[in-house]
Chains A and B, each alone.
Chain A
């Protein structure tokens, strides 16, 4: 039978076998057709926007480890704010720096701003009722609530209750700090630490004191509650120099100068200076995490919002003692001058030895340096041409009273003063690096690892959506259109993962708080490029892998159907690994940080090892000249 005839016969059979619609089909169809309304269609641009939005939303899962209060850049902003506060506490005006120092009022305002940045508002509102309901009788939680609440009166009441019922010295410290926030302030030339013989500096200070708007003298009535709080604290722990030292500031404001200076010397003779910074931060962090904040975030929030006001007052006390020592020297009382300066230096060293938080150590360095100011002055060396070094381009020079000091104590004692100052500076520099490392390990890296895990899940989800879409519409066509070997599939996978790996590798060593947002943007870029590579490399491969009869688009979809499951599986494993690593890192850090008796300083000193015990003293750390060139 000829071909044409056979074809006709086949056509005939197929046509005869055709099914015909049952009666009434047209009416039924027309009825439904009459009800049909034109489908709403978005423009291509809208579709593109929706697709882009979906992908970004999926990738935004990377932000999951950050709660709303800790949006991107919060760490950076909070740290910057805290650094500004710390600078206020540490400032000791190196030679050649005329920047106005922060007053206690400035520091108090900045601290409040830090708490706002950290998004603690809702927690601060709930703190009191939460602590009283869930932890009745727990002095530490009561203290934390007192530190957190916004209302000053409530805060003071809670802290006093915690101090009295729990017999907690840390609560006394917190209570005194809270009272000092609102206590009356004053301004006297002595607080500035200016040299009484420097007419220009004195004129400038007098003008500043006049214009400050603060009274030159406090009344007993204004400061009685603060002084009482210091005495209560002192009674609770007589060997702690902190309450006595802080008392000096107010006694000087009352113009009870002799009493103030005697108290300062008494404080300097006590064995320790404990500020309970760490204990207070731990209590606040525990309360925040009990209220639902993540442990890591609670710890950082508590650290960043810790009370730095005490340190500002200590710095002022050191200035008062140094200034009064200088006056004693001018009044031909060299013994008193040396006593006051040595007491200040000793107090600073004691602070360094007993500090449990880095800020305490650094303020100790500042206090020691202020006390040593007449004989050794800390300043930038512009003549050496070495802008940076172990001490950041700064070094010690002879102070204006170096000759007098040496004549009173001898060269050996003076050189010991200098060596102690330099050692403290080297240790401070070492600490700053270690703090950054530790902060990375505890606060930044776990968050970013969890963020990467979230981003990976986002990418996985986006690829899964693509895979599902292809599978639903084109499964059969796609599978029959291409032959892509396993080796080729793995090669594509490796190449597609290069952008994201490169993004992580390039930024890994640069991880720190300040770079957070930039880093995340870069990583998002890496993930987006990987997503695109995951779609486009199979298209490239489709040119070679497609079957002769298949269209390129079908082969592309076929390749995607082969590669995407592998990619999704790899990403799932990676997301899991990153998530577990981040969680473990976070857990380990939190376990250590929240442990009772944890001391930030001890932890850092153990990290520093021999470099702390025997710090490397730079050869050019001091210069025998005054004034510095």
Chain B
């Protein structure tokens, strides 16, 4: 990631949910259309939402950014509808993102383009700040993505999604259940199966 005044504020969704009063302040600011609150929302959730969207869209960063921006815009337009008693802010945002992703996937399935996984993102290489780490960092990332791609072939779409939300985005089981519209018990069992198969994938990839 390139340097940005907000880069230091980059946090995982769990961290982004933050303390109760911090979230309340953020919500108050969003309801008043405060620019600083917008920036804070962007900083807290933008990258995480992008990561989730990109993973669900097969690495299509262009569309992932579109999903992320639309999610944030929708969130500030509809902040009046958000009810903290029903879900965490992160779960609510991921819910919005999920609907945009589904739309993008439907559109994607109708288009005939080069698969996003076949494209090379030079920008992602630029995210490595230290030139010495470039080679190792890129190699490690490519290796990780290869493994994830292998895991994805073994898991159902829903299993892959809950796996990403739970472990890559660090959301709680309750939040994941809220996002995918399943009971916590169902998500637990999905995760259990997903982990078993993912381990198998990781082992196979290592061999």
Contacts and interface: CB of A to CB of B under 8 A. Distances in A.
A41 B81 contact: yes
Given A18-B51, A36-B77, A13 B148 contact: yes
A550 B68 contact: no
B167 A29 contact: no
Interface in A455-512: 473-474, 476-477, 480
Contact of B47 (A7, A16, A21): A21
Interface in A208-266: none
B141 A16 contact: yes
Contacts of A550: 182-183, 186
Contacts of A17: 55, 141, 144-145, 147-148, 168
Contact of B73 (A23, A32, A476, A548): A32
Interface in B151-180: 158, 163-164, 167-168, 180
B46 A25 contact: yes
B59 interface: yes
Contacts of B42: 26, 29-30, 33
A9 B186 CA distance: 24
A16 B144 contact: yes
Tell me what chain A mostly uses at the interface: helix, strand, loop, or mixed.
helix
Contacts of B182: 477, 549-551, 554
A20 interface: yes
A385 interface: no
Contacts of A23: 1-2, 4, 123, 126
Interface string B1-16: 1101010000000000
A22 B73 contact: no
A549 B145 contact: no
Interface string A318-332: 000000000000000
Given A7-B195, A21-B50, A549-B183, A34 B168 contact: no
Interface stretch (B20-28, B32-40, B83-91, B107-115): B32-40
Contact of A20 (B51, B158, B195): B51
Interface residues of A, number: 40
B54 A19 contact: yes
Given A17-B141, A20-B47, A28 B186 contact: no
Contacts of B199: 6, 10
A612 B182 CA distance: 75
B65 A33 contact: no
A550 B182 CA distance: 6
B96 interface: no
A15 B166 CA distance: 11
A29 B195 CA distance: 34
A412 interface: no
Interface string B66-86: 001100110011111100000
Count chain B CB atoms within 10 A of each CB in A28, A548, A549 and give the residue with the most. Answer: A549
A620 B78 CA distance: 83
12 contacts: A10-B198, A16-B141, A17-B55, A19-B50, A19-B64, A20-B127, A22-B61, A25-B65, A30-B38, A38-B76, A41-B81, A554-B181
Interface of A: 6-7, 9-11, 13-26, 28-30, 32-34, 36-39, 41, 473-474, 476-477, 480, 548-551, 554
The 10 closest A-B pairs by CB, nearest first: A549-B186, A19-B54, A16-B144, A23-B2, A17-B144, A14-B168, A21-B50, A17-B148, A18-B51, A39-B77
